[in-house]
């Protein structure tokens, strides 16, 4: 199977399982499904499936965990877009959740998706140690060590000049932590617990490269191509490495972090062709 076909197959597998895990019952689940099934790259769940495969596991055994991480990711996007946070009105080419359903329902939809993320993992048929470890990894990535901590640094740093060290901490928490969690959860689902440190390092390198590429696209792309407003970092007074060190510096770092991730894939995971291809694709993505 070609890499693009494999990515499409993984994406379809995830989207079909997400649809099964969250049936429409009322207006709350409608709001949850609106954002959860709105498309997107499905990068994080695909990484979970593929790291499971790279460790000798079957993709089906990682599907509940993969969907759990996508639910958590979607929850964070709904909350990030709220007026009290980044106040965005467009996500994945569609009006954001609070624009369609109102602020209070968007809050509840995000909260409920976060709960469902853990439910998907803990209700799965995997062994207790696998479920517990996957849930722990996701919790660490969601809380003050991860997304919430990164978002705090992001919002608290608006209209201030953050240092390079502070920006790295922000990017690691807000973006890299969940990408690293996707990789490590895949290893857990394959019961390859010895691979967790390598998967974490690989995922964090991928995540930093992903965020730096995102910062570049915010000034170089268009709203139509990106599916969300461009120029929002400058408008919201965000401190980014792009603003601090310039575009060429960021492009060089994207390549360095990408090669770091690929080096780990080669040395620790048997040089999986698809994951190496995907890592390079992310470094040059257009949206």
Ordered domains of the chain (ranges, CATH): 3-283 (1.10.600.10)
How far is CA 50 from its chain centroid? 15
Is 174 within 8 Å of 154 (Cβ atoms)? yes
Is 135 within 8 Å of 119 (Cβ atoms)? no
Taking only the tens of pLDDT, the chain with its 287 residues reads: 799 999 999 999 999 999 999 999 999 999 999 999 998 899 999 999 999 999 999 999 999 999 999 999 999 999 999 999 989 999 988 999 999 999 999 999 999 999 999 999 999 999 999 999 999 999 999 999 999 999 999 999 888 889 999 999 999 999 999 999 999 999 999 999 999 999 999 999 999 999 999 999 988 877 777 676 767 777 777 888 998 899 999 999 999 999 999 999 999 999 999 999 999 999 988 87
Instruction: Give the integer Cα–Cα distance in Å for 250 and 242.
Output: 6
Predicted pLDDT at 238: 80
Predicted pLDDT at 259: 98
DSSP string, 69-80: HHHHHHHHHHHH
Predicted pLDDT at 64: 98
Question: Of 27, 103, 7, 118, which is closest to residue 70 (Cα–Cα)?
Answer: 118
Instruction: Give the integer Cα–Cα distance in Å for 247 and 265.
Output: 27
Is 124 within 8 Å of 65 (Cβ atoms)? yes
Question: Of 33, 36, 39, 31, which is closest to residue 12 (Cα–Cα)?
Answer: 39
Predicted pLDDT at 220: 83
Token pair 């919002």 in the structure block, residue: 155
Is 216 within 8 Å of 250 (Cβ atoms)? yes
Predicted pLDDT at 239: 82
Instruction: Give the integer Cα–Cα distance in Å for 123 and 64.
Output: 9
Predicted pLDDT at 237: 74
Is 150 within 8 Å of 168 (Cβ atoms)? no
Structure tokens at 33: 């499904």
Residues in CB range of 270: below 8 A, 6 or more apart: 54
Give the C-alpha distances (Å, rounded to integers) separating 112 from 27, 79, 87, 105, 284: 12, 12, 20, 10, 34
Report how many helices (DSSP H) and strands (DSSP E) the chain contains, helices first.
16, 2
How far is CA 90 from its chain centroid? 18
What is the C-alpha R_g of the chain? 18
Structure tokens at 62: 């990682």
């Amino acid at each position: 199977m070609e890499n693009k076909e494999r990515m499409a197959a993984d994406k379809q597998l995830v989207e079909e399982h997400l649809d099964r895990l969250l049936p429409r019952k009322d207006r709350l689940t409608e709001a949850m499904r609106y954002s959860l099934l709105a498309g997107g790259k499905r990068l994080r769940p695909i990484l979970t499936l593929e790291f499971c495969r790279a460790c000798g596991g079957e993709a089906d055994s990682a599907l509940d965990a993969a969907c759990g991480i996508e639910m958590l990711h979607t929850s964070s996007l709904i909350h990030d877009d709220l007026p009290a946070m980044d106040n965005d009105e467009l996500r994945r080419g569609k009006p954001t959740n609070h624009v369609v359903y109102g602020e209070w329902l968007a809050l509840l939809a995000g909260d409920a998706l976060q709960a469902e993320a853990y439910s998907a993992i803990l209700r799965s048929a995997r062994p207790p140690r696998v479920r517990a470890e996957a849930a722990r990894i996701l919790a660490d990535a969601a809380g003050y060590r991860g997304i919430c901590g990164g978002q705090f640094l992001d919002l608290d740093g608006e209209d201030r000049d953050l240092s390079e060290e502070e920006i790295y901490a922000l990017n690691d928490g807000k973006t890299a932590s969940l990408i690293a969690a996707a990789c490590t959860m895949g290893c857990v689902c394959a019961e390859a617990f010895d691979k967790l440190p390598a998967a974490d390092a690989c995922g964090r390198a991928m995540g930093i490269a992903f965020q730096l590429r995102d910062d570049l696209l915010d000034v170089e792309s268009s709203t139509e191509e990106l599916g969300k407003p461009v120029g929002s970092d400058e408008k919201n007074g965000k401190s980014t490495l792009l603003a601090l060190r310039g575009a060429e510096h960021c492009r060089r770092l994207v390549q360095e972090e990408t090669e770091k991730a690929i080096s780990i894939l080669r040395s620790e995971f048997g040089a999986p062709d698809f994951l190496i291809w995907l890592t390079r694709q992310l470094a040059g993505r257009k949206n």
